[in-house]
């Protein structure tokens, strides 16, 4: 088996670090959803702030769907 030198075992810690950052971003979606809900149920604000919070929440949910559908949160360093 031929091994490409830049895909060696010493990169595993960086791959796991990138996976943890991705997981933190996925969990950050919960904060964005909470903020969007709080924006809609709080005292009346301008419609633009409500629409902005909703659009941001939908964008985070869309990106999270892309990450889950692409199986990008698999915690392995098998390459």
- Residue 13 forms part of a structural domain: no
The answer as to whether 21 is a domain residue is no
Please state the domain count of the chain.
Answer: 1
8 lies in some domain: no
Q: Which of 2-11, 42-51, 61-70 has the lowest mean pLDDT?
A: 2-11
Q: Is the pLDDT of residue 7 over 80?
A: no
For residue 4, name the pLDDT band (cuts at 50, 70, 90). low
In a domain, 11, yes or no: no
For the chain, the residue count is 79
- 61 and 29 in contact (C-beta within 8 Å)? yes
Whether the pTM exceeds 0.85: the reply is no
| Structural domain boundaries, residue 45 | 26-79
- The rounded distance, in Å, linking the Cα atoms of 68 and 28 is 15
């Amino acid at each position: 088996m031929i091994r490409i030198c830049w895909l060696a075992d010493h990169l595993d810690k960086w791959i796991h670090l990138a996976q943890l950052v991705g997981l933190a971003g996925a969990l950050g979606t919960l904060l964005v959803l909470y903020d969007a809900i709080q924006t809609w149920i709080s005292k009346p604000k301008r419609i633009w702030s409500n629409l902005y919070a909703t659009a941001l929440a939908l964008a985070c949910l869309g990106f999270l769907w892309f990450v889950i559908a692409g199986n990008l949160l698999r915690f392995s360093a098998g390459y």
